[in-house]
Amino acid sequence: MNWVVRVMLNRSDYLILGAAFISFLFSVSLWFGIFGEDQKFAGIFVGIWVPSIISLGNYFKLKAGGK
């Protein structure tokens, strides 16, 4: 059997994932010191934002009816 899962993303999904991806890139840039000297603890702190942004977006999506 060939199971195909289709995922349809709407505009809010792309905004949430985009914000999480930007946070991830910012975290990596702080960790490796791309824009100055490395700030590992700040990179870890910003890295924690990624699951928080996704969770908060999921909460508001479910609160709005899952559309």
pLDDT in tens, 43-66: 999 999 999 999 999 999 999 885
pLDDT digits (tens, 9 = 90+) for 12-22: 899 999 999 99
Q: Where are the domains of the chain?
A: 20-63
Query: pTM value?
Result: 0.80
With CA atoms as reference, report the closest residue to 30 among 42, 20, 18.
Answer: 42
Half-sphere exposure for 17 (CA within 13 Å, toward CB)? 6
